[in-house]
Amino acid sequence: MEVIRGWGFNVTPDQIEGLAASVGEKSLLGRTGGAPSLAVGMAHIFSRAFGSGLMALWYHFAIMFEALFILTTVDTGTRVGRFMLQELAGQVWRPLGRTSWYPSTVFASGVIVAAWGYFLVQGVLDPYGGINSLWPLFGISNQLLASVALCVGSTLIIKSGKARYAWVTLLPLAWLLIVTLTAGWQKVFATDPRLGFLAHASTIIEQVAAGTIGRARGEQLLFNDRLDAVVTITFMVVTLLVVLASAREWIMILTRRKPASVRESPFVETAYAG
């Protein structure tokens, strides 16, 4: 409670107990991960719009939404990471690029799951690591992934002979790249330590030297800042490579230097159309 008051919120034990009772929980204190806090906030907003009697319903709906969101994100991220790793490894040794080859699938899946596991272990060993080190990257990575999806969509449209409609995906792609790459650059190289990873790392070094932060905690925070900077730059470079490769494909197809070969399954009209 004292920590919450230190943030500027005057919360009493009676208020916490009242919130817990309204959402059907015995207590909301000491719950890890922040999920209950977000769920209570969402339930409060929805209950004000649809009636306070549904507070418990909205709370458990939000908890379910958070759990499913996390599970599907981890599942999708693992699958995409495995396919990307197999694609890259196949350039070194061709059998590793075969997604139907069991040893390759096990190897790539193991590497990606181990990467997830690293952040889980870090969240236990380092209270400032784990999800705390990943969270600043969530918005950037999410929007860069959307940029890759728009590149794929644009390529399919152009290969299908519908280039005149490609603006539908190219306009949002241009906007996403401008905004997200600018934000990524600022997150890494901004001079304001509240924004830039490297600037914040420099501040940590100064605070450790001055003795205002313990060396162990300073090393943890410094590692997290540098890790975030490296991962952000990697995300941006990979996205730019995908965009450049896609643009090269578009130009070659539109200038007829390469045939527009489509490997997607052909359209099959549903039996319910009639």
pLDDT tens column, 128-142: 677 677 778 878 888
pTM for the model: 0.69
pLDDT at residue 113 greater than cutoff 90: yes
Q: Is residue 110 part of a domain?
A: no
Q: Is residue 24 part of a domain?
A: yes
Instruction: Examine the domain organization and report whether 241 and 154 are in the same domain.
Output: yes
Q: What are phi and psi of 40, to 5 degrees?
A: -65, -40
Please give the pLDDT value at position 140: 87
Q: Of 13, 44, 63, which residue sits at a domain end?
A: 63
| Domain assignment of residue 59, given as a range | 2-63
Instruction: Examine the domain organization and report whether 250 and 145 are in the same domain.
Output: yes
Are the beta carbons of 137 and 227 closer than 8 angstroms?
Answer: no
Q: Is residue 119 part of a domain?
A: no
Instruction: Examine the domain organization and report whether 56 and 148 are in the same domain.
Output: no
Q: Is residue 111 part of a domain?
A: no
Instruction: Examine the domain organization and report whether 50 and 151 are in the same domain.
Output: no
Q: Of 41, 63, 85, which residue sits at a domain end?
A: 63
Please give the pLDDT value at position 32: 60
Instruction: Examine the domain organization and report whether 162 and 257 are in the same domain.
Output: yes
Instruction: Examine the domain organization and report whether 143 and 257 are in the same domain.
Output: yes
Are the beta carbons of 133 and 225 closer than 8 angstroms?
Answer: no
Q: Is residue 248 part of a domain?
A: yes
Q: Is residue 103 part of a domain?
A: no
Q: Is residue 98 part of a domain?
A: no
Instruction: Examine the domain organization and report whether 50 and 163 are in the same domain.
Output: no
Rounded mean pLDDT of the chain?
Answer: 86
Q: In total, how many domains does the chain have?
A: 2
Q: Is residue 154 part of a domain?
A: yes
User: Average pLDDT for residues 198-214, to the nearest whole number?
Assistant: 92
d(C-alpha 269, C-alpha 261), whole Å = 21
Q: Of 63, 82, 113, which residue sits at a domain end?
A: 63
Q: What are phi and psi of 12, to 5 degrees?
A: -105, 160
Q: Tokens standing for 262?
A: 């489509």
* Band (166; pLDDT cuts 50, 70, 90): very high
